[in-house]
Every structure is written in structure tokens, then in C-alpha cells.
Structure 1
Amino acid sequence: MGQAVKRHAVSDLAATLRSGDWLTRERVRLWCAALLGVSGLALAVVAATSNGMTDYQGRPLATDFSCFWTAGRLVLDGHPAAAYDDAALAALQRATFGPQTPFYGWLYPPFFLLVAALLATLPYPLALSAWLATTIALYVLAIRTILQTAADPATPRERGGPDRLWLLVALAFPAVLVTVGHGQNGFLTAALFGGALAVLDRRPLLAGVLIGLLVYKPQFGLLIPLALLAGGRWRTIAAAAATVVVFAGVTLALLGPEPWRAFLAVSGAVRTEVLEQGVAGWHKLHGVFAWTRFWGGPVDLAYGLHAIVALATALAVVWAFRARVRPALRAALLLVGTLVVAPHSHDYDLMLLGPALAFLITDATRHGFGPWEKTLLAVVYAVPLFTRAVAEHLMIPLGTIVILALLITILWRCTNGGGLAAAPSDSVIAPLAKLPPRPN
């Protein structure tokens, strides 16, 4: 009798997870409000126990932002190439934040030195505040644009204005807390990439400019040219190329050639130390390469497995853009595929899952959810909060596993999702996409 009850309970649980009926609107509202409240409280505690420059542990506030600001100071002092000199950068960080400050290296191409220099014109706390406020606003704008673009024009505007649950869900996304804690550029990356894909069909030149500005994250640009070429997006390609050329020209004119020489000189060492040797910790990285090295696989095997998965993902993206699958699905596929193909990504780079989820939500709202999809989307939403701790303590690369599962789900929707039943009326996800269409 007891075994029968257990089997029945397991069967009921599986059925509930499969249908996603547990993911009600009210539960999402409460959980997201709790997430946002706890995140805000944690940040408030850190701010209250800091001295304005360092936290209670003596680390720079928003740790990684310290390398942005100090690299910018070197630019303003007339030594932009010194940002790639670990000794010089570390000395400035210790002089600024204290002699026990851990080293935060500068790994970006010279393009991003222009942004760093602009930030360094402000005192550190003010620069950090301005950086986070601006990039969070851009991220929110990109999510809203995605929802507006994919909204059904036949859906009447709800009385009292558009539903605001989307804003709570976007701000409570755990990757937001991770990115704020690091002071990183995840918001900017998500805004540029997600915004470009949102306007790709309507404003191809603007999409190209936004894509061109992503050049500061070269590891995330591997699939974009393939997708644009496969889709025949010639105006977007031209705009992106022109943006990169202009950006490079401005950087060269303002900073000279030395930063470029220094960047190229250290690139090989960065690949060896960060990617192959995992000096920062493989538990912090995502991707098949990091997974293989994390579990003790040799470098050659890691490259081989990564190449196989990357090639399969690239072929899928090319097919999706050539086949003209639904725009929201091909956008989500490119965003998630970028995380799969990138040689490495950190937990703050999981901000790319934000716009990917927004595209998937809008597609599923209009065309229906498949089995297990609501539950998977909930897991994807939550995973940035746990991925580093689970990898570090349990040796399970949770982030990589979930990203691969999401990629497979998107491919399934691309090939089999057209005949799905309409989403149930009590779906938590459906109201998120009911934003009014952009007025003409």
C-alpha cells in the first residue's frame, strides 16, 4: 500500500512538472518579489558595511569593476597599454583599494578602454553607480523591446495600461544580482545583443550598429556572422562592419597603436591561463571545454569535444536563419548558441539568458508550451543563482548542463513546435508579452 502511494505521488509530481501547471502567475509574482527583496537587502548590507571603496572583506566594491576603473585611470594618465601589464595594473589597484587587494585583470580588447576611461573620470563610487544604473536601464529597455516586438497586434491593450509583471521578472532574474555584485558588463552585453535581435527585422541598420558595438566581447561574436550571412542580412552586416571599423579607428586615434600591440601580445597567455589552466577556477566557467577540464580531461580532449558541440550548434543556427523559422525562436537559438560556442563564459555572462527567455516566452505565449517547457524555463531562470556553488561543491557543471538542455528545447520548438496547443489562460507567462505594440 505504501509503495503504491509513493508511486502515485511520484506520478503526480512528474505530471505536474511536465505540464508546468505549478507555475502560476501568483507564485511567480511572490517568488520574484522575494528574490528581488533579498537581493536588494544583500546589496544594501554590502553598501552599509563598506567604506565607499571596499566591502567588509577589504575587496573593492563590485570586485570586477575595479579593473574597469583602474584600467581607465591608466588611460587618463597617458598609459593605456599598461592596462595589459599585470604588474602595473595590480600596483594601481593596491594603491587605490589597499595593499591586500586581490588582483583583477584586464582581459578586454582596446575598444573597451574608451568606456573604462570615461568611467574613470568619476570617483569610484559614483562611477560604479552610473555604470550599473545606465546598463541596467539599457537591459530593461531591451527586454521591453523584445516583448513589444513579439506582441500580438490583435491583442487589445489591457485597461489601465500594459502588464508590469515583466519588469519584476526581469529585475529579479538572479543573473542581475550576480552582475551587480561583480560590477560587470553583463547588462550591456544582454542589452546590445537582445536589442539587436529584437529590431533585426524592422530596423536592420540599427541592429547592425548594436551588433558592431558588441566587439568588446569577441568570444560572443563567433555565431553572429554565420547567422547574418545565412539569413542574407546584408544591410545589418554592412552596418556592423562599419561600426567596428569606426570604433577601431576612434580607438586607434585616441589611444594609439600601443594598446593593440599589448593586447595581441598577452592574448595567448590569457587563453592558456584562463581557459586551459583554469587559474580563475573552472567552476566559474561555462561551456563544454570548461566542463571537460573541470572533470580532469586533457586539453586536447576538451578542444575536440568543444569543437564537435560548437560545429553542431553553428549548423543549427545557420539552418534556423536560412529556414526562416519564427523570429523569436531563431533569436533565442542564437543567444543560447552563443553561450554554447563561446570558449568560455562566466556566471555574469548568463545575463544573455534574460533576452533568450523573453524571446521564448513570447513565442510560447502565442504558439503554446510543450511538455516540460515551463519547468525548464523556471530552472533556467533560477540557475545563475546556484551554478557557481553547485559546481564548486558538488562538481556538477549545472550552468552548462542547463544551457545545453535549453538549446535542445529551442531546436525542438523550431522543428516540432508549430502544432502545439494554445497556452492555458492561467499561464504566468502569457501576460508578460501583452505589451502594447509600438505606435507607428
Structure 2
Amino acid sequence: MRQLDRRWLFRVALCSSVVLAIELSFAFSLAWGTFTQSGPPQAGFGIDFSVYWSAAVVALTHSPAAVFNQDLMMAVEQTVRSGKLFAGTSGPWLYPPAFLIFLLPLGMMPLNVALTAFSCVGIAAYLRSMWGIVRPIGPLALVPVAAFPGLWLALCYGQNSLLTAAAAAAALALLPTRPILAGIFIGLLSVKPQLGLIFPLALICSRQWRCLVSAAICSFLLWSVSALMLGVDMLPAWVHTVSWFRHTWIEHNPEIWRGMPTVYAAARRAGASAQWAYGLQAAVAVPACAVMAWLWRGTARDELKAAALGCCTLLVQPYLLYYDLAWLAIPIAFIAVDLYRHAGRAFEWLLLVAAWAMPLQSVAATMIEGLGHWTPAVLVLLLCLIVFRHRNRHPAGQTAEHGRSKLSDLSGRAAHF
């Protein structure tokens, strides 16, 4: 079975290298067009980063609370975003104060310099954290990691998904051996709190008290420092803006549903009311959390536990955009390591390949009317695969190898006797 796994790995790495070359060419051409043109880009490399940079500029030149002033933010954003795509619009600032304090140094730089620094840090952190997961497979595993479409979507949009995914991947990779450091990385996820909600449940179920305390302390310090630096009035303004965004955009804006690979968005596009859509989202999220808690409470392998948490984190989100699927690399990588260490069947590797392609499918779903997002279904299948591998701890191929080993050992003993 290990020979089969190596063949699959080689084939995946070979195909991924072709995809990586295409992604590099596209990203380079997009970046070249963005950095070399004289005026504001109509749509270019890192276009969503303009919201981060504008928020930092507004906070430094006016006041931190001014980032929630939509008119002021629009005035700054329109200096770096133009064209019909952005006419009369601005990206609202939806992040808590804990994230803004990390962006303030970028507001002191020119936009292109700040975007370059942000992108380089994101790529480096993402690849380093993912290497901490796939190291048991070997360097060849870095090829599909680097070519993962979710990475390039987040990079080209200038989103923070690479940084949050890197923190989550580092936490899960370090948890078995360095729980306190893992807790620090979990605490950093409080810059985007909805992505860290499942971690406390997993830590409680597995009785990882040191990690839980470390995460709580890190989150508390991060939010306390942000309150001291930016002012306590930032928190109620953030809560009000998030509530407005949920009501105005998530619940009553059909355009945004096209880019959301979630059960909630699928239900809304199918004609369900917001209440029914939230109910269907809960109908998937609650069983997923129950399965994840069962795995973390029991004797499942560390790779399977981490993969289940990654799947569950994405499944429970009613609001998730396709560039957030950079997180999907986490369960894929952990399942791949488990397949490599404990033997995997062809259909299991094929499911990972399908999951690897989901960010591309999500992009296609935004362009092709009626296509829909397949990511929630694939996440459920991944969770089922994790349960299957936990319940069948000795796959057929591994059992056969074990039987042949025992037969050879018995034959040797008989000959010696």
C-alpha cells in the first residue's frame, strides 16, 4: 500500500506542478499590470487589500473609530480603487480592533509596498505552517501545497486567509507536542473570531487544558492591548457594523451569495428565507460538531482529529467567501499524512484530489449561473472519510501486509526450529 501511496503522491505532484506554473503566470501578469499602471486599478492584484490599507490610513490620519465611517472609508478607498466595478462602493471595515493593530504599520507605507510586504508574509507563514503538517510525507508534498488554488485566490485578492490558515495549521501541528505554543496561535485567531469558535470545544473534549488556558490568555492580551491602543469605543462600533453587515449584505444581498460556498448561501439561492437557511446551516453544523467532539474525546489519531476540526470550522460558517478556502488545505494535508502513514485506498486519494480542486469549482460557481458550490458536500464527505478511517483502523491492504509479515515470521521460526 505504501508503494500505491507513493505513486499517487508522484502523480499529484506532477499534475500540481503544471497547475502551479499556470497560477504563477497568472499572478505575475496580474501583479505586473497592477504595479506598473499609473492610476488606481479597476481590478488588480490584491484588490481587497485596499480595505486593509485604507483602514490603517484612516486610523492614523483621523482616529481608530473612524474606520467604521463608511463615507470616510469610501473617500480613501476610491483613491486606490476605480472603474465600474467599484463605482460608488466601498468595502466596509468588519474586523475587530485586534486585527487593526497589526495593520497600522502598513498604513505608513505606500500601497504597493504595503501590499508586497503583506503578501510575502502571508505566503511565508502559510507554506511554513503547512510544511509542519506534511513533513512526514517529504518535500514532494510541498508541490500540491504550493499549487493549492485556495492559496492563490487569497493571495490575488489580498485577503488575510493565508495568515489565519497559517495560525490554525501551526496550532494543530504543534498541539500534540507543544500545547502552550499551540494555544498562542489559537489566540491569534481572535483577529477573525468566527474561525476560532470550534477550537475551544475540541480542546475541552480532549482535555487540553494548558492549550486552552494559553489561548484564552493570548486572546485576552490581544484584545486588551487593542483596547488600550485604539480606545474602548472601538468594540461597540465593531459590533454595530457587523450587525448591519449581516442584515444588509448576508441576509438581503443575492449577489454576495454567489461567492459563498456555504449551506446558508445555497439555501438562500434556492429561495429559502433567512430563518430557514440558518436552520439548514445548523442542521449540518451541529452534527458536524458532534462528530468532531466525539473524535477529539476518543482515541482517534492526531491527524484525523485535526482534519475533522478543519472540516468542521468551514462547515459551521454561514458567511464564508471562496477565498477563505485557503483553510481547506488544512484537512486535506492532515488526511494525506494519515493516508501515507496508515495506508490509503485509491478512492480516498481521489476524494482528496476533488477537495483540492474545490476553490476552482467555487470560482466557476460565481461565473456560471445555476452551477452552485460543491464545497459543503465535499466537506461532509471528508468528515465521513475521517470517521471511516477511525472506525477501520487497519485498512484491508494494511491487514494483508500485516498477515504476510506474521506468516513470514512464523515460517522463519519453523525453519529455525
Are the counterparts in 2 of residues 370 and 417 from structure 1 also a CA contact under 8 Å?
no
Aligned to 1:105: 92
- Aligned residue identity for 1:421: G
Are the counterparts in 2 of residues 60 and 97 from structure 1 also a CA contact under 8 Å?
no
RMSD: 2.4
Q: How far did 1:279 drift?
A: 5.2
Map 1:18-97; keep pairs closer than 5 Å: 24-52=8-36, 58-59=42-43, 61-97=45-81
CA separation in 2, counterparts of 1:87 and 1:53?
26
Runs of 4+ in 1 over 3 A off after TM superposition: 20-27, 51-57, 96-102, 417-420, 422-425
Map 1:368-383; keep pairs closer than 5 Å: 368-370=343-345, 372-383=347-358
2:388 to 378, 390, 412: 412
Are the counterparts in 2 of residues 70 and 89 from structure 1 also a CA contact under 8 Å?
yes
Q: Which moved more, 1:406-415 or 1:69-78?
A: 406-415
1:316 to 291, 297, 300: 291
Q: How far did 1:168 drift?
A: 1.6
SS of 1:49 mapped into structure 2: helix
Q: How far did 1:365 drift?
A: 0.8
CA separation in 2, counterparts of 1:385 and 1:21?
25
Aligned to 2:118: 131
More helix by share: 2
Summarize deviations over 1:141-197 as a string: whole Å, max 9, x none. 11111134xx3xxxxxxxxxx942222211111111101111111111111101101
2:139 to 164, 185, 189: 164
Aligned to 1:307: 282
Summarize deviations over 1:113-154 as a string: whole Å, max 9, x none. 112212222211111111111111111111111134xx3xxx
CA separation in 2, counterparts of 1:259 and 1:293?
32
CA separation in 2, counterparts of 1:313 and 1:118?
39
Runs of 5+ unmatched residues, structure 1 = 1-19, 152-161, 426-440
Question: Judging changes above 3 Å, is the alpha-carbon distance between structure 1 residues 280 and 105 closer, same or farther for their aligned structure 2 residues?
Answer: farther
CA separation in 2, counterparts of 1:405 and 1:23?
23
CA separation in 2, counterparts of 1:170 and 1:129?
21
CA separation in 1, counterparts of 2:399 and 2:119?
36
State how many pairs are aligned. Answer: 394
Q: Under a length normalisation based on structure 1, what TM-score does the superposition of the two structures give?
A: 0.84
Q: Which moved more, 1:359-368 or 1:99-108?
A: 99-108
Aligned-residue identity in percent: 31
- Aligned residue identity for 1:110: P
Q: How far did 1:56 drift?
A: 9.0
Are the counterparts in 1 of residues 161 and 326 from structure 2 also a CA contact under 8 Å?
yes
Q: Under a length normalisation based on structure 2, what TM-score does the superposition of the two structures give?
A: 0.88
1:209 paired to 2:184: yes
Runs of 5+ unmatched residues, structure 2 = 402-417
Q: How far did 1:329 drift?
A: 0.2
2:163 to 172, 188, 203: 188
Aligned to 2:412: none
SS of 1:286 mapped into structure 2: coil
SS of 2:202 mapped into structure 1: helix
Are the counterparts in 2 of residues 222 and 341 from structure 1 also a CA contact under 8 Å?
no
Question: Judging changes above 3 Å, is the alpha-carbon distance between structure 1 residues 238 and 378 closer, same or farther for their aligned structure 2 residues?
Answer: same
Question: Judging changes above 3 Å, is the alpha-carbon distance between structure 1 residues 107 and 21 closer, same or farther for their aligned structure 2 residues?
Answer: same
Are the counterparts in 1 of residues 179 and 211 from structure 2 also a CA contact under 8 Å?
yes
- Aligned residue identity for 2:45: L
